[in-house]
Structure 1
Amino acid sequence: MNTPATANESNIVSINVGGRIFQTTKQTLTLAGTDSPLSKLATESSTRFLDRDPALFSVLLYILRTGNLPARSTSFSVRDLIEESRHYGIEPFLIDSLSNPSQFEAFDLRKSRVLRLNGRDSPSTIAPTVNAGGGLHVAHGSKITSFDWSLRRKSTVLTNFSAVDSLLEISPGVLAAGATDFPGLQIIDLEKGGSVRTALNWEDVATSTVQGVGSSSEFLFASFESSRRNSNSVMVYDLSTLLPVLELDRGSDSSAIPSTKLRWIGSCNLLMVSGSHASPSGVSGHVRFWDVRSRNMVCEINEREDCFADVTVSENLSAVFKVGVSSGEVFYTDLRGLGGGKEGDRWVCLGEERKRSLNERKGVGCKIESYGDHVFCSKGDGIELWSEVITGLVGNARRDVLEERVFRKNSFVAGSGENKVTGLVFGGSRMFVTRKDQQAVEVWQSSSRGVSM
């Protein structure tokens, strides 16, 4: 006597892939989309047989189920996974799993690949792609070379600049590019061979040059300096229309220092702008925090003693980090304490703060960036990794009350004898590194999570 199938049993689908039987649910298969052959299998009642590689199919099925790469994916090449994912119509799922920041494991980073560039110019600046995480745009000389998420397809366009100093992807295939010796911020369309859609200028100074760029989900930020270098400003544009919205951080005398780094802090709805200048008396600079909607400056940190060589902000760690140009040490200040306290007391040294001479320049050229729950700082040819040590409190309770925080340093690539690090950028599950006089970009990934490149 035949018994009727239960609802749970009728939802189970068995698929023969290259002689190996897989079982999954109709819901999992339909996640692939209506155009995928996998979703069509969910509606078929006949024998489901696919003459494909079962090992690769198991990886892709795991991605459909969880959104992540399985540990066994390390034994496969990315080329094979790309081809197989395209056959099943689920390449976007593979892209998400490979570029998902959750796959980024700071303590397990290994150099997985070197991206070679055409020509003799070293990278001047690099920018990650906005949506298909893990892709990259590299400015070298007058050219911009773009790599897709797989890092296997690349294209190069020629710009009007002799060298690009500021670069940012504002939407897929559309870049904002500027230079310190060429007027205007150019909006470049890569899909149209690098043609310039428009050029943005400081409204009353048509010959102003670009010192830095940044963006939020709503706005594009550009720092301009006049050609005579006696005034500067940060312009805010609507990201969708590229029309000017307002002006911030205007300096109108020869001593005003232009901001060269612009970072949006989404959790606080603040724009952080920073800039520094070297003179015979030393290095001085500023870090300012602007409320864009009210046009008010919330806080300003004036840097004089051991001014920053570079500065960054981490929303995950609720802190601003700098590397001192004199000491070469890493410092932090808590975002929640920006409004109070003496200016000199704001910074807390993470390393062994020693008495230093203002004539020292141990931090010159050092770069500092944050990603996830970690802070990365380049020192010569090496990179330091700083992570917070949680003590006494559980979860996010440590963010509720200002207290002394403990950070631990881990170094890698130190003393490798390679050229000095000139740039650090993060995208998806990858860290990208550029070095002095090298016509290439290093790709660093987790050895336990990534696939063979």
Structure 2
Amino acid sequence: MPPFSQSTPISNGFSTDHSKINHPNHHPSTNVITIDVGGQLFQTTKETLTLAGSETLFSSLFDSSNQNNNGVPFIDRDPELFSILLSLLRTGNLPSKAKAFDIQDIIFEAKFYGISDLLVESQSNPSQFEAFDLEKSVLLPLSGRDSPSAIATTPNGSLHVSHGSKITSFDWSLQRKSTTLTNFTAIDSLLALSPKIVAAGATDFSGLQILDLDLGFVRQTLNWENVTKSSSTVQAIGISPEFLFTSFESGRRNSNSIMVYDLKDNFKVVSEISRNEIFGADLDSAIPSTKLNWVPSLNLLMASGSHSGPSGVSGNIKFWDIRSGKAVWEIKETVDCFSDITVSDTLSAVFKIGVNSGEVSYIDLRNFGSYKSWNCLGDTRKVNNGKKEGFGCKIESHGNQIFCGKQGELELWTEVLMGSLKYEKDRIFRKNVLGRMKDLGGNRITNMGFGGNKMFLTRKDQQFVEVWQSSGRRF
């Protein structure tokens, strides 16, 4: 049976000329619109329907030639699904009764009415991310025996996961997935440029590839021309609203650099920064950047890397002005170097997990350039010589929270606001352990990512991705 009471196309069956609003279903005094969906009457207002947008079926209901005998517009669709979408228009969120329906049915119906974008926004709105209420909600299985090596998320909550030579993608609803075979042996760096386009690189394969996962082909390969004319392997990828950043190392591991590409001009080379040619035993130059973070408030790129040598783990953190190509601030790590590092623009601080102590510490960016020492978030204790309690631990920032993967458990650090502070060391952070009792522990956390209102985790030697969501925000 066709969806409408006659076979006229949507564009003809529902005129978008709003100047002819003079039908029995429209009441000027109350602004009420009556609609018959599958034999069930609904009443709403003109303002509610216009929230759907001018190019949608809802906006056409003001001047419909598809009417029943009472002069009310008739749509031959499921009334229960219609009521869910009408509630979405009214409140901006799906009602709780939507949990009783398969999400694909809701998606299909939203596409029919032309409001699928509103559905995506309502279910992947970052403002619905409730850090303290996160629980492990679902496991996303991956094909094959390879564990995830990298993950990349998009703002609407879709996900890309590299495992072995493959990239598996999940849409924002996590109900549809597709797998793309690449020519990498293993992918070490992955970054989403859009729901369908990713940048991928490896430490043992030359070049950064821009992959179209929808069509399954390599759009472009970006390489770095090093002095030795050897391969250029990818150590890290970063992004800003305008630029793509890639840390390269030569195949002979005697030179490294960071390339800056223009995202809006077909990845045209903008500049090259942090170029190092290694001579003798100059370990500082031997360290390529293995993490790249853009800091919007400073308009600088934070590049960090570490190296394990005979005297222990050492590293450096540099803030680069990509316009001048100069490092405007450098922090050298020699004692309790970072196992992992991140920067929070919201909290104005750099955070690290010490590779020896496993402690979380920070440097306040509000006093940018005046480095003194790291401030420990918890109770300060002595470094455990040789034990490397922080080895393999992960840290990421999201909003005004800091998430730490301490082996198998997940910690959440948040700042306790205490009014005006005289010294940066007076800042107070509180730790929480996330998850229900059954969520705690497990294999070591290897990746953390955030998209929309979801958090994604992967663990060592496991062939799936954990999805964490607020208990009140699930379908």
Q: TM-score, normalised by structure 2?
A: 0.86
How many Å apart are 1:341 and its aligned residue? 3.8
RMSD of Structure 2 on Structure 1 (CA): 2.4
Equivalent residue, structure 1, for 2:157: 134
| Conservation of the 8 A alpha-carbon contact between 2:153 and 2:160 | yes
Code of the residue aligned with 2:352 in structure 1: it is K
Equivalent of residue 286 in structure 1, options 302, 316, 326: 316
Alpha-carbon distance change, 320 to 56 in structure 1, aligned in 2, over 3 angstroms = farther
Q: How does 1:286-365 map to 2 (within 5 A)?
A: 286-342=316-372, 345=373, 347-365=374-392
Equivalent residue, structure 1, for 2:121: 96
d(CA) in 1 for partners of 2:57, 2:371: 62
CA displacement, residues 60-103 of structure 1 (integer Å, 9 cap, x when unaligned)? 22332343344554454423322321232211111111111011
CA displacement, residues 386-422 of structure 1 (integer Å, 9 cap, x when unaligned)? 11112236xxxx7x99572111111024784522111
CA displacement, residues 337-396 of structure 1 (integer Å, 9 cap, x when unaligned)? 221142xx2x11111110123312110111101111211100111100111112236xxx
Alpha-carbon distance change, 70 to 318 in structure 1, aligned in 2, over 3 angstroms = farther
d(CA) in 2 for partners of 1:102, 1:206: 46
| Conservation of the 8 A alpha-carbon contact between 1:71 and 1:448 | no
Equivalent residue, structure 2, for 1:3: none
Q: Tell me whether 1:185 sits opposite 2:208 in the alignment.
A: yes
Please identify the structure whose Cα radius of gyration is greater: 2
Equivalent residue, structure 1, for 2:31: 11
How many Å apart are 1:30 and its aligned residue? 2.6
| Conservation of the 8 A alpha-carbon contact between 2:319 and 2:329 | yes
Q: Tell me whether 1:449 sits opposite 2:473 in the alignment.
A: yes
Code of the residue aligned with 1:80 in structure 2: it is D
Code of the residue aligned with 2:198 in structure 1: it is L
Code of the residue aligned with 2:414 in structure 1: it is S
Equivalent of residue 372 in structure 1, options 373, 395, 399: 399
Equivalent residue, structure 2, for 1:211: 235
Unaligned runs of 5+ in 1: 1-5
Code of the residue aligned with 1:37 in structure 2: it is L
Equivalent of residue 176 in structure 2, options 153, 156, 178: 153
d(CA) in 2 for partners of 1:73, 1:405: 43
How many Å apart are 1:192 and its aligned residue? 2.3
Equivalent of residue 82 in structure 2, options 23, 32, 57: 57
Q: How does 1:191-230 map to 2 (within 5 A)?
A: 191-193=214-216, 195-204=217-226, 205=229, 207-230=231-254
Equivalent residue, structure 2, for 1:420: 444
Equivalent residue, structure 2, for 1:276: 306
d(CA) in 2 for partners of 1:64, 1:270: 40
SS in structure 2 at match of 1:369: strand
Q: Tell me whether 1:106 sits opposite 2:128 in the alignment.
A: no
Equivalent residue, structure 1, for 2:408: 381
How many Å apart are 1:14 and its aligned residue? 3.0
Equivalent of residue 124 in structure 1, options 145, 149, 154: 149
Code of the residue aligned with 1:281 in structure 2: it is S
Code of the residue aligned with 1:354 in structure 2: it is R
SS in structure 2 at match of 1:409: strand
| Conservation of the 8 A alpha-carbon contact between 1:381 and 1:419 | yes
d(CA) in 2 for partners of 1:36, 1:50: 14
Name the stretch that deviates more: 26-35 or 441-450.
26-35
How many Å apart are 1:438 and its aligned residue? 0.7
Code of the residue aligned with 2:108 in structure 1: it is E
| Conservation of the 8 A alpha-carbon contact between 2:331 and 2:371 | no
SS in structure 2 at match of 1:162: coil
Q: Share of identical aligned residues, percent?
A: 58
| Conservation of the 8 A alpha-carbon contact between 1:60 and 1:85 | yes
d(CA) in 2 for partners of 1:34, 1:381: 49
How many Å apart are 1:58 and its aligned residue? 3.7
How many Å apart are 1:258 and its aligned residue? 0.3
Alpha-carbon distance change, 285 to 95 in structure 1, aligned in 2, over 3 angstroms = same
Q: Tell me whether 1:263 sits opposite 2:287 in the alignment.
A: no
d(CA) in 2 for partners of 1:388, 1:8: 53
d(CA) in 2 for partners of 1:330, 1:200: 36
d(CA) in 2 for partners of 1:65, 1:375: 34
SS in structure 2 at match of 1:363: coil
d(CA) in 1 for partners of 2:388, 2:425: 31
How many Å apart are 1:185 and its aligned residue? 0.7
Alpha-carbon distance change, 47 to 101 in structure 1, aligned in 2, over 3 angstroms = same
d(CA) in 2 for partners of 1:21, 1:404: 61
d(CA) in 2 for partners of 1:172, 1:120: 25
SS in structure 1 at match of 2:426: coil
- Higher relative contact order by CA 8 Å / sep ≥ 6: 1 or 2? 1
How many Å apart are 1:292 and its aligned residue? 1.4
d(CA) in 1 for partners of 2:261, 2:53: 37
d(CA) in 2 for partners of 1:7, 1:17: 19
Code of the residue aligned with 1:324 in structure 2: it is G
d(CA) in 2 for partners of 1:23, 1:328: 59
Give the number of aligned pairs. 436
d(CA) in 2 for partners of 1:323, 1:177: 26
d(CA) in 1 for partners of 2:74, 2:396: 49
Alpha-carbon distance change, 71 to 321 in structure 1, aligned in 2, over 3 angstroms = farther
Unaligned runs of 5+ in 2: 1-25
Code of the residue aligned with 1:171 in structure 2: it is S
How many Å apart are 1:24 and its aligned residue? 2.9
| Conservation of the 8 A alpha-carbon contact between 1:306 and 1:358 | no
Code of the residue aligned with 2:52 in structure 1: it is A
How many Å apart are 1:284 and its aligned residue? 0.7
Equivalent residue, structure 1, for 2:57: 37
Code of the residue aligned with 1:28 in structure 2: it is T
d(CA) in 2 for partners of 1:73, 1:121: 36
Q: Tell me whether 1:231 sits opposite 2:255 in the alignment.
A: yes
Alpha-carbon distance change, 109 to 184 in structure 1, aligned in 2, over 3 angstroms = same
| Conservation of the 8 A alpha-carbon contact between 1:128 and 1:137 | yes
| Conservation of the 8 A alpha-carbon contact between 1:29 and 1:42 | no
